Chains A and B, each alone.
Chain A
């Protein structure tokens, strides 16, 4: 039964107001309001006992905090309407990435000088050009962007030639060999993941690149790390720390995913091939 209290000011009223600001209506009515109703129920059942009331407050606020943290990532309607979810997963999240990217460029500016500025300028120009092209060719597949990307890669290698010398050639050769090896391996071990029916977008977007969690993906990551370490030995400790943190995070995500799914679903079978 719903808690009935003589106090005209309801416990959790402030949380309800906060929830109105943080979540959209479907999320609020489905997840938040029932949790706050539980909080009120527990508080009503606590009676006059100060200790029980305190525990009910702690549990209620903790449940609300857990919802605020978890909802943006797992609520189906997350990208809709809520400032928190929009910030994390929507265009503000994208803007946040842009700020992080600019901060990264600012950090490496002393190492690369005007080259970093030129890369930013070229990158923005390329992104705008691709977006304009994509808008005018909504049904095109991603192949049209390939020559542009190849051109960009060649320009990038040419620009850093003077700084890295033969390392650039070694990196190109290593990359080509690795690409061939990965292609051969992938041909002999085709992915068991169900092919997606989604048409790929003709734009540069890392989230559109399918990367399977298999040995080929691991080789790709190791190759990328070695390339960065050879090119920028000054940041080796930063890279090492990143690898450790990334491994811990990946382990946590894997454990979380394993606890939520079943051993027989196709998505997990790629690990056994």
Chain B
């Protein structure tokens, strides 16, 4: 039997998509702050990098104002694919909820 390659969406990636969809574009540190401890500093970028590879999010470097000397941060946006995958997983979770609860 051939298995379809369904895009996976682990809980952390789902949480990130939820936050990006509900709050708009966010920096990594803002995602950590909004996640109530579910996302950790440092490794959040590994998750975001993986999601970027999958095409769920895109990022752009913030514009550095003249005179600023800090390192530039990255701002993350949900992609249309990421939003569709999130919607599909939400539908599936709702459809399976009665069986999962029994």
Residues of A within 8 A of B (CB): 1-5, 8, 10, 12, 16, 30-38, 40-42, 44, 59-60, 62-67, 70-71, 74-76, 192, 194, 259-262, 264-266
Contact = CB atoms under 8 A, between A and B. Distances in A.
B46 A70 contact: yes
B25 interface: no
B87 interface: no
Given A1-B65, A35-B42, A194-B3, A16 B29 contact: no
Contact of A37 (B1, B46, B73): B73
B46 A38 contact: no
Contacts of A194: 2-3
B69 interface: yes
A67 B42 contact: yes
A38 B8 contact: no
B10 A2 contact: no
A2 B62 contact: yes
Nearest 4 interchain pairs by C-beta:
A63-B42, A63-B41, A37-B71, A3-B70
A265 B68 CA distance: 47
Question: Among B46, B53, B67, B68, which residue has the most Cβ atoms of chain A within 10 A?
Answer: B46
* Chain A interface SS verdict (over half): helix
A59 B67 CA distance: 26
B55 interface: no
B40 interface: yes
A2 B41 contact: no
Interface string B74-99: 10000000000000000010000000
B27 to A, nearest CB: 7
Nearest to A74: B46
B42 A10 contact: no
B49 A33 contact: no
A37 B41 contact: no
Interface in B35-70: 40-43, 45-46, 49-50, 52-53, 62, 64-65, 67-70
A2 B72 contact: yes
A40 B45 contact: no
A12 B70 CA distance: 10
B9 interface: yes
Nearest to B52: A30
Contacts of A65: 42
Given A2-B64, A35-B28, A40 B70 contact: yes
B93 to A, nearest CB: 10
Contacts of A10: 69-71
Given A64-B42, A66-B43, A74-B46, A34 B70 contact: no
Given A63-B40, A67-B42, A37 B70 contact: yes
